[in-house]
Amino acid sequence: MAQVPLAAGLFSWPSDDPRLLGSECSACAMVTFPSQDSCPRCALTEMVSKPLARRGRLWAWTTQNFPPPSPPYAGASGKDFKPFAVGYVELSGEVKVEARLMETDPAKLQNGMEMELVIVPLGKNTDGDDIVTFAFTAC
C-alpha cells in the first residue's frame, strides 16, 4: 500500500529530509504556513515558496480527547479513536505551526521544549492507501 500525503504542497514527500512548505513575502519577509498567494501583513501578492526549518520549540499545546466532529476527520473515529495532543511549534524566526504532537501525556509536555518534524500515519483514504501527515516529536 502506498503512502500518500494529506495534501499536495504541504510538505516535501517522499524525502529523507522532509520539510513543511511555507511561503515568504518578498516585500515584508512575512512567513506563512501553508503557502498562500497574498501576505497577511502587507496584503501584497508577492509570496515565494519556502521550505521551513525542521526544528523548533513548543509554544502552546493541549490534548484532543474526543473525536473531532468536524467532517471529514481523516483519522480513526468512533471506538478506534485515540486521543492525541496538538500544539504550536515555533520555528525560530520563521513561523509558529500548528501540528499534532507525538507525546500525548500532559505530564511530559512543556512549553519551550525542543521538537522536530516527523511524518506520521493519519488514517486510510478510500483507496486503502495510508495517509501521512506532519507532526512534531521531542528531540
Partner 1 sequence: MNPEVAIIGVGLHPFGRFAGLSGIDMGAIAIRRALADAGVEWRDIQFAVGGSYEVDNPDAVVALMGLTGIQFTDVYNGCATAASALALAAQTIRLGDHDLGLAVGMDKHLPGAFSADPRNYACPSWYGEMGHFITTKFFGMKINKYMTDHGISHETLARVAAKNYRNGVINPNAFRRKALSEEEILNSAMLNYPLTQYMFCSPDEGAAAVVLCKAEKAHLYTDTPIYLRASTVRTRRLGAFEVHSPWLPIEETVGATVDASRAAYELAGIGPEDVDVIQLQDTDAGSEVIHMAENGFCPDGEQEKLIAEGTTEIGGRLPINTDGGLIANGEPIGASGLRQIHEIVHQLRGTAGERQVPGNPRVGYTQLYGAPGTAGVSILSL
Residues that bind Zn ion (CB under 5 A): 25, 27-28, 30, 39, 41-42
Q: Does 70 bind partner 1 (CB under 8 A)?
A: yes
47-51: strand order across its sheet:
31-32, 21-25, 47-51
Count of residues of this chain found to bind partner 1 when the rule CB under 8 A is applied: 53
Q: What is the dihedral of CA 93, 60, 54, 22, to 10 degrees?
A: -70
Q: Does 50 bind partner 1 (CB under 8 A)?
A: no
With a CB cutoff of 8 Å and minimum separation 6, the contacts of 82 are: 76
Q: Which helix (H) or strand (E) holds 27?
A: none
Q: x-or-dash pattern for partner 1, window 74-113, by CB under 8 A?
A: xx--------xxxxx-x--xxxxxx-x-----x----x--
Residue 11 interacting partner from partner 1, Zn ion, none (CB closer than 5 to 8 Å by kind)? none
Residue 82 interacting partner from partner 1, Zn ion, none (CB closer than 5 to 8 Å by kind)? none
Output the nine-digit C-alpha cell for 24.
Answer: 515568504
Closer CB to Zn ion, 41 or 82, in the complex = 41
Q: Does 54 bind partner 1 (CB under 8 A)?
A: no
Find the binder of partner 1 among 72, 78, 80, 126 (CB under 8 A).
72
Q: Does 34 bind partner 1 (CB under 8 A)?
A: yes
Q: How far is the CB of 23 from partner 1 (least distance, A)?
A: 11
Strands 3-5 and 130-138: parallel
CA distances 128 to 10, 23, 40, Å, are 21, 32, 37
